[in-house]
Structure 1
Amino acid sequence: MTTDSLTNPLTSSQIIQSDLLTAQNWTSTWLMPLNNKKCVVFRLGKDNPNIPYTLDNHVLQPVNQIKDLGVLLDNNLSFSEHVNLVVKKANTVKYLIQKAFVSPTEELSKTLLVSYIRPILEYASVIWSPSLIGNKELLEKVQRRYLKTVQTLKDKPYDVRLSLLKLPSLEKRRIINDLVCTYNILTHQFGIDLSNIFELSAASHLRGHSMKLHHQKYKTRWRQNFLSNRVFNVWNSLDSDLIESSSTASFKNKLYNHQTDL
């Protein structure tokens, strides 16, 4: 457990410490005491005051990275360590596939990629979608090298291989995943209200679709790569026909049909 496992956005150290005490009392009451040796503090921000927190009179140790629901977060929010981790996992699966299938057909190669390799590289990408060019290239290299092992495609350029197999690049798929998530948030598909992540443009009625976003100001690289800023230009450029889709499935299908315009 981390202190941030409580998903408390407040920065007041007194409130956080009070919440830790509440959690401690609740778990003790229900005979599920927390193992304070496994509880840590994960801090963000260069101006973080580094205030110590305690749980059951035990000072929680600070850490530079944590894994939450399969996503490795570092205190720089670069997600470089997470990218390295998923690339390593995907390459391991790629190696096993190559050992198991000596000369698969194009169709089988595509199926194996989509079923076993790509999900590793895309899990929760809306959270960690890379901003660094080096990280983007590391991810794309996995798919590029895998498709090069297909005998009928090995001498063709990467973009030609993608075209012949009707596959988008991983970067384009991350853009589409961002757009689908944005659509789901703004149309309240998640069952909880997350609309405060975005700010709708007051001038959206003048031209374009009715759900255009207002560009949010940022002072840090972290905020610059946050979903609301990352998706801003592409989302606002979408046609009304896409935005007015009747369902998430319809919106996603239309996006893939228009992917060359993204």
Structure 2
Amino acid sequence: MKTAGGDGRVDLGSSSVERDLGVHIDNELKFSKHVETQANKANKILGLVRRPYEYLDQESMRMLFIALVRPHLEFAKCAWSPRLEKDKKLIGGVLRRATKCVPGLKDLEYEERLKVMKIPSMCYRRVRGDMIEVYKFMHGVYNCKNPLELNQQSGTRGHCYKLKKNACKTSLRQHFFTEL
């Protein structure tokens, strides 16, 4: 940092990525660096889990993945959600690798490995988590202003909880939680 004269002002430098509360965000409001960092951490832990065992059965691998690896992939998921396909593939790739670590499952298709191990996909968990949050907002579980709006103009069948879908001008806003 340099001072810009004798008046005590300081020129601030710029950076392309900042970290706030453990979440990396770049100057284009993308979370690709965060996804990359968390996927690398999860892959390292998966390697540490796999290495000491000569044989890992399905149930042991499932419990180790859920307890040690998945929390890194879902860290601060309330603040970010992967909207880019490359980020979704990077996160899902860790689970793909974990399911291939179990002997006898390596030759099965990915979806079959998930069914056998009784683990939902990362994409399913993100959608399920969003639906749970919508339910909590709509039924007053949170003691705050509801960011979601009900569509008052539509005659809904069966329930009165149809959400209003706002028009978005940018692709950034399209993927916000309130615009799902």
1:128 to 80, 91, 102: 80
Q: 2:106: which partner in 1? A: 154
- What count of residue pairs does the alignment treat as equivalent? 174
SS at match of 1:128: coil
Counterpart AA for 2:139: T
SS at match of 2:25: strand
Q: Which structure shows the bigger proportion of residues in helix conformation? A: 1
SS at match of 2:51: helix
Does structure 2 conserve the Cα–Cα contact (< 8 Å) formed by 1:204 and 1:210? Answer: no
SS at match of 2:114: helix
Counterpart AA for 1:159: E
Counterpart AA for 1:148: K
Alpha-carbon shift at residue 101 of structure 1 (Å): 2.0
Matched, 1:107 2:84: no
Does structure 2 conserve the Cα–Cα contact (< 8 Å) formed by 1:216 and 1:228? Answer: no
1:198-209 alignment runs, 5 A limit: 198-203=148-153, 206-209=156-159
Alpha-carbon shift at residue 204 of structure 1 (Å): 5.4
Residues 168-211 of structure 1 deviation map (CA, whole Å, 9 limit, x = unaligned) = 110010111111122222333233x141x211111455314322
Alpha-carbon shift at residue 221 of structure 1 (Å): 1.0
Distance change in 2, residues 1:88/1:194 (3 Å): farther
Q: Distance in 2 between matches of 1:104 and 1:83?
A: 27
SS at match of 2:168: coil
Alpha-carbon shift at residue 83 of structure 1 (Å): 0.7
Residues 140-187 of structure 1 deviation map (CA, whole Å, 9 limit, x = unaligned) = 010001110100211111100111122111001011111112222233
Using structure 1 for the length normalisation, give the TM-score: 0.62
Residues 88-126 of structure 1 deviation map (CA, whole Å, 9 limit, x = unaligned) = 000000110011222111100000010011111012223
Does structure 2 conserve the Cα–Cα contact (< 8 Å) formed by 1:106 and 1:152? Answer: no
Q: Distance in 2 between matches of 1:88 and 1:158?
A: 21
Q: Distance in 2 between matches of 1:219 and 1:200?
A: 21
2:31 to 79, 84, 92: 79
SS at match of 1:139: helix
Using structure 2 for the length normalisation, give the TM-score: 0.88
Residues 52-106 of structure 1 deviation map (CA, whole Å, 9 limit, x = unaligned) = xxxx854544433221222111121221111101110000001100112221111
Percent identity among equivalent residues? Answer: 34
Q: 1:27: which partner in 2? A: none
Residues 29-62 of structure 1 deviation map (CA, whole Å, 9 limit, x = unaligned) = xxxxxxxx8xxxxxxxxxxxxxxxxxx8545444
Q: 1:190: which partner in 2? A: 142
Does structure 2 conserve the Cα–Cα contact (< 8 Å) formed by 1:87 and 1:142? Answer: yes
SS at match of 1:73: strand
What are the ranges of 5 or more consecutive residues in structure 1 without an aligned counterpart? 1-36, 38-55, 231-262
What are the ranges of 5 or more consecutive residues in structure 2 without an aligned counterpart? 2-7
Counterpart AA for 1:172: Y
Counterpart AA for 1:88: N
Q: Distance in 2 between matches of 1:211 and 1:129?
A: 24
Does structure 2 conserve the Cα–Cα contact (< 8 Å) formed by 1:74 and 1:81? Answer: yes
Task: Identify which of structures 1 and 2 has the higher relative contact order when contacts are C-alpha pairs closer than 8 Å and 6+ apart.
Answer: 2
